[in-house]
Structure 1
């Protein structure tokens, strides 16, 4: 008797988005309140299933970002793929996660199957008492680690500053994303040693303590050499 013909397993493909920004000198992640089961009323990352077999995965990610949070024109990049059995009670679901790190993002607007959308500090999002849907806690942790690494190796931090900024203001960006306090003298030395990272810009500015501080602007370097290694 011939063997039964092989049938491919039923696997659903989804996208999840880790959107990070700085608000009030703290790192925030975009979370939505789920308006449908499973995990009704629980916070989750924006995301959802592909519409059909013809939809591009990144197109689906951008669509979900617009539908669930009202955000568009945000640069997203692949983060990781999550596909362990049991991660979704609806069946076998493989999720492609995307990451975006951008300054000055607007307030999100919830839509479709999201009951609400808000910027949440990563400290609050990952606090022991915060319930997150699916395996989104793990995805957020992975996204934060990627963001911290990008600040080590790229000039991304200058995008979170004004056109002209002080070394202290740049240091605040690193402290917010890395979640550590940095020694000002050591930070100044590292910044100045990264070729093309920042350049002098205009006259000095008085700081809140009355002392003048030099102003800088972003340099031409996109990749930092040497990198700004974390303590």
Structure 2
């Protein structure tokens, strides 16, 4: 049996960037992601996740952050390693991709160009992607919808100050269903993930709404120690 020469394996990083932007038809918050157009073979002209090779003197997270800056101009506050994809036939050459996800708030999303090389797409309505990036996006969205139910990760989509309606909009966009405002407010009040401020909204037609902020003592998600994912989080190895 022929074995793959380990020296021929290359390591790349890719990142699924997810942001909350208005849906073009309804105006309601929806999940969007920027994709980059490939300019070389293989898959020349196809859309793909932003990424690139791991530099010889870079750690994985530093490499992911650097490739994001180079391809999309994003410098996210929330960047987490998602999974490793290394099927033998995922690329013409032997490539293992360490995939990250970046959840960005509106100011960070505004820094992403929207042109011929980089374009925003609805996360659930993107074109067919290069390599196995369709599978990667599918897993990232599944993981996000799973994780939002037990972590504070939804707050990563928002700025420093936000209303409870805006926070509820994140959950509704991620989960794909409408939440009862009164129940949502009650659940938030029972926890310590967000803190009320003395500030309110202004300058619109509606009654001023209380502004909230993330609890600085709590992380968006617990990323350590370095342990395998729980059974609930572990992906199915076959599709």
Q: What TM-score, normalized by structure 2, do the two folds share? A: 0.73
Matched-pair contact (CA < 8 Å) for 1:207–1:213 = no
CA offset digits 1:181-213 (Å, max 9, x no partner):
21223222222222x123333377699885665
Residue 7 of structure 1 deviates from its aligned partner by 5.8
Change (3 A) 1:202 1:20: same
Change (3 A) 1:203 1:116: closer
Other structure's SS at 1:40 match: coil
Matched-pair contact (CA < 8 Å) for 1:17–1:47 = yes
Other structure's SS at 1:200 match: strand
Matched-pair contact (CA < 8 Å) for 2:11–2:53 = yes
What CA distance in whole angstroms lies between the structure 2 residues aligned with 1:178 and 1:147? 9
Residue 103 of structure 1 deviates from its aligned partner by 0.4
Unaligned runs of 5+ in 1: 1-5, 225-231
Unaligned runs of 5+ in 2: 23-28, 221-239
Matched-pair contact (CA < 8 Å) for 2:78–2:156 = no
What CA distance in whole angstroms lies between the structure 2 residues aligned with 1:101 and 1:19? 6
- What do you get for the CA RMSD once the two structures are aligned? 3.1
Q: Of 144, 149, 152, which aligns to 1:147?
A: 144
Change (3 A) 1:197 1:55: closer
Partner of 2:177: 180
What CA distance in whole angstroms lies between the structure 1 residues aligned with 2:193 and 2:80? 23
Q: Of 19, 22, 31, which aligns to 2:20?
A: 22
**Worse-matched range after superposition: 29-38 or 202-211:** 202-211
Other structure's SS at 1:14 match: strand
Matched-pair contact (CA < 8 Å) for 2:103–2:156 = no
Aligned pairs, how many? 209
Residue 35 of structure 1 deviates from its aligned partner by 0.9
Residue 44 of structure 1 deviates from its aligned partner by 0.4
Q: What TM-score, normalized by structure 1, do the two folds share? A: 0.75
CA offset digits 1:57-98 (Å, max 9, x no partner):
333222221222223355422110001111112x22111111
